[in-house]
Amino acid sequence: MSTSNPEQLSHDLRHHLQVIITENQQLAAKLDLTAAGAIIPLIQHAERIFVVGAGRTGLALKAAAMRLMHLGLTVFVVGETTTPAIEAGDLLLAGSGSGTTSTIVKAAEKAKAAGAQIIAISTTTDSPLAALATQLIVLPAAQKQDHGGTISQQYAGSLFEQAVLLLTDAIFQTLWALDGTPAEELWKRHANLE
């Protein structure tokens, strides 16, 4: 790996940051906001919310879980030792770019069998995860093994993972606006054992 001078590095960073921002803006412009908006009532009426994703998608969904907790919702991250069994009345928020990640599909199958509703975030309508979803949100991003660069110049599933974070933050902002609780009240739920 070669290194460049600081001026060149600064230029390269600016260029790559602009690529990332532009790709996310283009994705947002193509996003079906009617489908995305349809998940708001599902979240509002769920007894409990479970989130599941692998890798960087999983990290983005953990960030979403934190924000939903700030709203006072009961939220669990699948795979944590304190996560209970999912039941009817609950909601699974599952993210997988390909919709074929085996652990995510298995979680959705179990959730469906338990009578829970499923929100899936993916890049495709043609996958096992999409088939299980109560509501599907398609993010028009590259899948992690799409190396052609026609959809995204970024590595692997980076655009999808970023879009999951941005979308779930927009969902939080929408839910918060509907809820109307002051930020000071939400802050009281923020972790205080840090």
CA distances in angstroms from 138 to 24, 32, 34, 125, 130, listed in the order given: 14, 8, 11, 7, 9
Q: Is 161 a residue of the active site?
A: yes
Classified as helix, coil or strand, 142 is coil
- How far is the C-alpha of 120 from the C-alpha of 142, rounded, in Å? 16
Per the listing, tokens 């939903």 go with 68
Task: Check: CB of residue 91 under 8 Å from CB of residue 116.
Answer: yes
Per the listing, tokens 């602009």 go with 18
Identified catalytic residue from 161, 184, 185, 194: 161
- Residue 78's Cβ-side half-sphere holds a number of Cα atoms within 13 Å equal to 25
CA distances in angstroms from 113 to 52, 98, 107, 108, 117, listed in the order given: 16, 22, 10, 9, 10
- Using alpha carbons only, how large is the chain's radius of gyration in Å? 18
Comparing C-alpha atoms, which of 163, 174, 172 is closest to residue 141?
163
Classified as helix, coil or strand, 126 is coil
Give the residue numbers annotated as catalytic, written as ranges: 161
